[in-house]
Amino acid sequence: MSGGVDSSVAACLLRQEGHEVIGVFMRHGQETETACSTSTLSPRKQGCCSAADAADARRVADSLGLPFYVINFQREFGQIVDYFVTQYTSGRTPNPCIVCNNWVKFGKLFEYADSIGAQYVATGHYARLKRQDDGQIALCRARDDSKDQTYVLFGIKREVLSRLMFPIGDYRKDEIRRMATDFGLRVAEKPDSQEICFIPDQDHARFIRQRPDRVDTSGDIVTTKGEMVGKHDGYEQFTIGQRKGLKIAFGEPRYVLRIEPDTRRVVIGQREELARSELIASGANWLVKEDTLGPGMQCQVKIRYRGPAVPAIVEPSGLDRFRVKFLEPCYGVAPGQAAVCYQGHQLLGGGWIE
């Protein structure tokens, strides 16, 4: 229970169905003054793990008569922060929400569930679980496609699917808010959490610059021909495909094509230079049986959370790596982000773009 409307309604639905529900809030220990002082219903609401969020979650649990516990995952979240910083300073674009799901929400949280004898772990994610004809559990996109969160769930281990519940996956967001009102929840109109919970103001570059172990990442902005056209004060503020914030006037748009941590250069160019016909991903996690992964598997692949799933051919290489060949050029392929594979609504698995 994060204190938001989605997990609060999920708890209500489970209780309504007759389950014995225990509320759990994950404390990350990375709170800032901004996060702790944010009003419950503030339009600037960003995080999902602040002191105000914990208070909201506890009030919902109390209203439902649920036991409620706050678990300190400060050490685990510290590792996520380290990953976040290391990725950016390596010239990659991290996705800490996926890592949090892999390590904490669907990792450490299961250890806690086992310690208290809980059968299931339920969250307020927009996703669905469906039992197939062969008895296997499939992870599928949410009914509300605009809120679907399966992209950040690709790292869930297949063996825990039978112990998961996503109570709100069959509802649209407007339905969830109406249900929250009907349940009498004061979080009914609470704004959705945005981006990264341990950076409430979403200034990634500032967060990294304030780290005591920060290294100098400033350098030149250059064209593909090597011509220097500007300076930057840290390449961690850029990602592949970025157009805004370059602070360079060309008369026509320019995009970040490449980040070179060794030379500290950011390479920019025209949109057509962003086109990629294929990518390599590592750290693969498959939610379907390995024998269903053919050498030239036709599916759809997403390379960013808000992006579309585009037609592609996926060629697994062992169980850890795979190659994606796009049927049409794909733009903005960013190392460090996830490549997630679908067949229709079913999530097959994914990996990290190399």
Query: Measuring CA to CA, which residue among 325, 330, 28 is closest to residue 200?
Result: 28
Tell me, what's the pLDDT at 194? Answer: 66
Six-digit token pair at 183?
Answer: 């349940």
Six-digit token pair at 82?
Answer: 């380290």
How does pLDDT run across 174-199, given as a tens digit for each residue? Answer: 999 999 999 999 999 998 876 688 88
Tell me, what's the pLDDT at 339? Answer: 98
For the chain, give percent helix, strand, coil, nearest 5.
Answer: 30, 30, 40
Q: Which residues are catalytic?
A: 100, 197
CB 340 within 8 A of CB 150: yes
Tell me, what's the pLDDT at 293? Answer: 85
Residue 4, amino acid: G
Tell me, what's the pLDDT at 40? Answer: 43
Give CA–CA dist 51/38, Å, rounded.
9
Q: b/e map of 206-232 (b: 16 or more CB within 10 Å)?
A: ebbeeeeeeeebebbbbbeeeeeeeeb
In tens digits, the chain (354 residues) has pLDDT values of 999 999 999 999 999 999 999 999 998 766 543 333 333 444 444 455 678 899 999 999 999 999 999 999 888 889 999 999 999 999 999 999 999 999 999 999 999 999 999 999 999 999 999 999 888 999 999 999 999 999 999 999 999 999 999 999 999 999 999 999 999 999 999 988 766 888 877 888 888 888 887 888 999 999 999 999 999 999 999 999 999 988 888 888 999 999 999 999 999 999 999 999 999 999 999 999 888 888 889 999 999 999 999 999 999 987 799 999 999 999 999 999 999 999 999 999 999 999
H/E segment holding residue 295: none
H/E segment holding residue 264: none
CB 152 within 8 A of CB 97: yes
Tell me, what's the pLDDT at 33? Answer: 38
- In order of their start, the domains of the chain are 5-124+167-182 (3.40.50.620), 218-269 (2.30.30), 276-353 (2.40.30.10)
DSSP 155-191: TS-GGGGGGEE-TTTTS-HHHHHHHHHHTT-TTTTPP
Tell me, what's the pLDDT at 205? Answer: 82
Side-by-side strand order, sheet with 255-260: 228-232, 219-223, 265-269, 255-260
Give CA–CA dist 342/301, Å, rounded.
6
Query: Measuring CA to CA, which residue among 310, 322, 300, 338 is closest to residue 98?
Result: 338
